């Protein structure tokens, strides 16, 4: 199973590993909305139907920088191919970089519990939406800001 981090689940789910070169928040949301609509249309119920949904576009194709399989439901981003949703079977294998962790998550995983807790408290103060959180996690914006605050001993 892919490596994971508690940061991946915060703020409605980080989608930083589900795309790149995001043109704008508006275009990102349009892509996720279109993916979600296609998922509802396909309404995959079986593993085979999920694979058919997954393979509807080439694995390297992105919609406005976003993976075609990333969807949103009840305010949460998620991948319907994830093993947590498929009895531990990872339907992303061979289609995605399932072991991707952003630099922020890699650093977070290496920190002691005290520093992790301070970072989580820092994140709470940011009041970010899903898209801003994802962008700032993937581009290291939050990590850089947190580290600069720590250097200045203000947290």
- Could you read off the pLDDT of 88-100 as tens digits, one per residue? 899 998 888 888 8
Say whether pLDDT at 133 is over 70. Answer: yes
Q: Which pLDDT band holds residue 85 (cuts at 50, 70, 90)?
A: confident
**Which of the residue ranges 25-29, 30-34, 74-78, 100-104 would you say has the lowest mean pLDDT?**
74-78
Say whether pLDDT at 30 is over 70. Answer: yes
Q: Is residue 124 part of a domain?
A: yes
Q: Is residue 14 part of a domain?
A: yes
Q: Is residue 53 part of a domain?
A: yes
Query: Distance from CA of residue 29 to its chain's centroid?
Result: 13
Q: Is residue 79 part of a domain?
A: yes
Q: pTM for the complete prediction? A: 0.80
pLDDT at 98 (0 to 100) = 81
Q: What residues make up the domain containing 44?
A: 7-151
Name the average pLDDT for the chain.
87
The closest alpha carbon to 14, from 59, 79, 98, 88, belongs to 79
Say whether pLDDT at 107 is over 50. Answer: yes
Say whether pLDDT at 1 is over 50. Answer: no
Number of independent structural domains in the chain: 1
Q: Cα dist. 139→71, 125, 130 in Å? A: 21, 19, 14
Q: Is residue 2 part of a domain?
A: no
The closest alpha carbon to 16, from 88, 94, 108, 90, belongs to 108
Q: Is residue 105 part of a domain?
A: yes
Mean pLDDT of 4-13: 78
Instruction: Give 84 or 21, the one with higher predicted confidence.
Output: 84
């Amino acid at each position: 199973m892919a490596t994971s981090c508690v940061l991946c689940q915060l703020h409605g789910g980080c989608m930083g590993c589900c795309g790149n070169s995001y043109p704008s928040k508006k275009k990102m949301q349009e892509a996720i909305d279109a993916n979600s609509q296609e998922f509802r249309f396909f309404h995959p119920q079986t593993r085979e139907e999920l694979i058919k949904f997954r393979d509807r576009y080439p694995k390297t194709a992105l919609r406005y920088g976003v993976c075609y399989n990333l969807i949103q439901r009840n305010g949460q981003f998620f991948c319907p191919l994830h093993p947590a949703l498929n009895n531990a079977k990872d339907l992303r294998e061979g289609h995605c970089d399932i072991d991707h962790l952003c630099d922020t998550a890699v650093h977070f995983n290496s920190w002691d519990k005290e520093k992790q807790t301070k970072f989580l408290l820092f994140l709470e103060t940011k009041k970010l939406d899903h898209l801003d959180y994802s962008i700032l996690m993937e581009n290291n914006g939050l990590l850089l800001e947190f580290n600069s605050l720590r250097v200045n001993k203000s947290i």
